[in-house]
Amino acid sequence: MIAELHDEKLKDLEIKAVKIRKLIIEMLVEAGSGHSAGPLGMADIFTAFYFHILKHEPKNPNWEDRDRLVLSNGHICPVRYATMALSGYFPIEELKTLRKINSRLQGHPHRTALPGVETTSGPLGEGISQAIGMALAAKLNSKRHHIYCVASDGEQQEGNTWEAAMFAGKYKINNLTVIIDRNNIQIDGFTENVMPLEPLRAKYEAFNWEVLEVDGNNIRAFVDAVKIARAVFEKPTVIIAHTIPGLGVDFMENRFEWHGIPPNPEQAKKALEELRTLQGKIESEHQ
């Protein structure tokens, strides 16, 4: 059962989302490589998951009855790492080890390296299938936890995605909710230029899924969508979450050039200034 999202909690989540964006920038500039736009765009959804939606225990990451959050597009892992650190899985200072030798924070997330990371991911199109496997196991064991899978829009181009969609439709995997980060960009450009995905909603509907669409940068709207998804009993649900890649940093927003690169120190400074201003704005609204 997902709790009611009161106004005060919502403001707290919005501030946390900005903090996570700042951590993402700090991690990436320190690492010197990695993806910027996707993680920034997904900060609101990850905040909503770790601080409101998920049933989890950061100090007991292998708790059997936890909800599973599978990250299919592993390259946006900075947002997952930052959110996990902020919610208490590991010390925030450890974020600085991203992509460095002897780190638990691999460039693409690795399940056995960091407790709480549910799958090893990076190669695209594989997360929904793995989430289905977890959902089947939960059903076989009569467990009530829920499986969430975050996937990118670009990886809808992988054939494996549609193999998984077909299977979930057939087996009516109703303890699974997939969230597609519909940010319209991928490495080589805009998705609709590289390989058009639209009509994406109709595709999933045709595969016997319930489809919801939501503003993925609106925490309340997203939480409400997840509640609706959880109430759908007869089929799997996908939430197409429209997000703005790079959100919070003006020069990165909606720019596919920022898909796969980190900021340099100067750009990071500018980005952090913008984010500090944003945080101040939300905080003053709160008071």
Partner 1 sequence: MLNPDLKLNPKLFDDDVEQKATREGYGDGLLEAGIKNPNVVALTADLSESTKANKFQEKFPDRFFECGVAEQNMAAIAAGLGVSGKIPFMSSYATFSPGKNWETIRTTIIYNQSNVKIAGHHAGIMTGPDGATHQATEDIAMTRSWPWIKVIVPCDSLEAQKATEKISNIDGPVYIRLTRDKTPVMTTIETPFEIGKIQIFWTSENPVVTILSTGYMTYYALVAAKELEQEGVKTAVANVASIKPLDEGTILSLAQDSRAFVTVEDHQVMGGLGGAIAECLAKTKPTPIEFIGLQDTFAESGKPKELLEKYGMGTKAIKDTVRKVIARKNQ
Q: Which residues here bind partner 1, judged by CB under 8 A?
A: 70, 110-112, 118-123, 125-127, 129-138, 140-141, 159-160, 163-164, 166-167, 170-171
For partner 1, the closer CB: 14 or 126: 126
Residue for token pair 């997840």: 226
CB of 139 vs partner 1, minimal distance in Å: 9
* Three-state secondary structure call for residue 72: coil
- How far, in Å, CA of 176 to CA of 237, rounded? 7
CB of 9 vs partner 1, minimal distance in Å: 31
For partner 1, the closer CB: 74 or 248: 74
For partner 1, the closer CB: 105 or 268: 105
The Cβ of residue 121 has, within 10 Å, a number of other Cβ atoms equal to 25
- How far, in Å, CA of 20 to CA of 14, rounded? 10
CB of 265 vs partner 1, minimal distance in Å: 33
For partner 1, the closer CB: 106 or 237: 106
For partner 1, the closer CB: 125 or 236: 125
- How far, in Å, CA of 243 to CA of 107, rounded? 23
CB of 54 vs partner 1, minimal distance in Å: 17
- Region of 102 please: left (phi>0), alpha (psi -120 to 50) or beta: left
Residue for token pair 């181009």: 157
CB of 128 vs partner 1, minimal distance in Å: 8
- 125, 159 Cβ separation under 8 angstroms: yes
